[in-house]
């Protein structure tokens, strides 16, 4: 099965100054009819003596309407930048030409994501954003996003065919083709969480958990009684994401799938798909 992105991005760094040290904790949580609100405390070190000061911030979780073009563009820009745009792997900014080339590729990926969203309906896709609404103006920054989408998954077949044994490249390709053919025969629509990412300085504050909670509530409320399970996938070495889903949110490990793919940037080919192993997780609602 083709997977759009890892369920949570593991290498996104904070955009705050490097002289600051942040610790976050959720001070309060309230839920209203159309949004969730979190009170988040940021502890930052400032000044020559690294004195600590606390900053209270208000964060809300809101659902994005699929016909709200402006908000979808903001969400997509944040999401693509979080997964692909946070600096070069070698830690350097690169030449002007390479930066411009990367900007073009990120723009194309954003357009592709928006096109994919435009083909969806409210019956099979819900998108949520987290915003810092501490200020009174209307330019509230998006600091997190997540979506739940209905895709055809076959959990039973995958559980019986998944393997943890290492395979050669040719074996992986053959098994991937065979697995996908078998799964298409028995797969049925199931809700799966995708594109969960939170801005670095807001991590471990409860924002990620609140975004997951919004997705779970949407499945239970909007998609009917028949959907009593929700799924997620994380890269096999993404221990932070695994801990968030399993240890903090009650998801259960099902199997490892070595046939997943994800898109990565490539200087020569614009972007390319690579085969990766991901862990399939499930939670009963």
Q: If you compute the radius of gyration of the chain from its CA atoms, what whole number of angstroms results?
A: 20
pLDDT at 76: 95
Contact 211, 199 (CB under 8 A): no
pLDDT at 129: 97
Contact 145, 129 (CB under 8 A): yes
Query: How many CB atoms are closer than 10 A to CB 77?
Result: 17
* Statement: the pTM of the whole predicted model exceeds 0.85: no
Residue in the structure block whose two tokens are 């290498």: 11
Closest CA to 42 of 240, 196, 197, 207: 207
pLDDT at 42: 62
pLDDT at 205: 85
Indicate left, alpha or beta for 47 from its phi (over 0: left) and psi (-120 to 50: alpha). Answer: left
* CA–CA separation, 142 and 75 (whole Å): 7
Segment-wise mean pLDDT, segments of 10 residues, the chain, 285 residues = 41 33 43 69 64 81 94 95 68 70 87 89 88 84 94 70 43 51 70 93 88 93 80 94 96 93 79 91 94
pLDDT at 49: 66
């Amino acid at each position: 099965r083709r997977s759009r992105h890892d369920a949570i991005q593991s290498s996104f760094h904070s955009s705050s100054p490097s002289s600051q040290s942040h610790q976050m904790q959720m001070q309060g949580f309230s839920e209203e009819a159309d949004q969730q609100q979190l009170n988040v405390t940021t502890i930052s070190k400032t000044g020559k003596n690294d004195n600590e000061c606390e900053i209270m911030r208000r964060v809300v979780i809101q659902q994005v309407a699929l016909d709200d073009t402006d908000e979808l563009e903001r969400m997509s820009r944040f999401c693509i930048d979080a997964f692909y745009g946070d600096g070069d792997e070698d830690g350097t900014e690169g030449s002007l030409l390479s930066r411009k080339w990367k900007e073009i590729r990120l723009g194309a990926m954003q357009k592709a994501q928006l096109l994919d969203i435009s083909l969806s309906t409210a019956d099979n896709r819900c998108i949520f954003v987290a915003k810092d609404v501490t200020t009174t103006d209307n330019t509230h920054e998006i600091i997190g996003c997540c979506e739940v989408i209905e895709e055809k998954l076959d959990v039973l077949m995958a559980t019986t065919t998944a393997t943890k044994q290492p395979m050669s490249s040719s074996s992986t390709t053959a098994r991937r083709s065979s697995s996908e053919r078998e799964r298409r025969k028995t797969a049925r629509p199931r809700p799966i969480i995708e594109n969960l990412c939170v801005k670095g300085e807001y991590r471990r504050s409860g924002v990620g958990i609140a975004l997951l909670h919004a997705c779970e509530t949407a499945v239970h409320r909007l998609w009917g009684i028949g959907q009593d399970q929700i799924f997620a996938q994380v890269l096999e070495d993404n221990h932070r994401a695994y801990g968030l889903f399993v240890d903090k949110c009650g998801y259960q490990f099902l199997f490892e799938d070595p046939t997943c793919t994800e898109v990565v940037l490539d200087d020569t080919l614009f972007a390319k798909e690579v085969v990766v192993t991901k862990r399939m997780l499930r939670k009963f609602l």
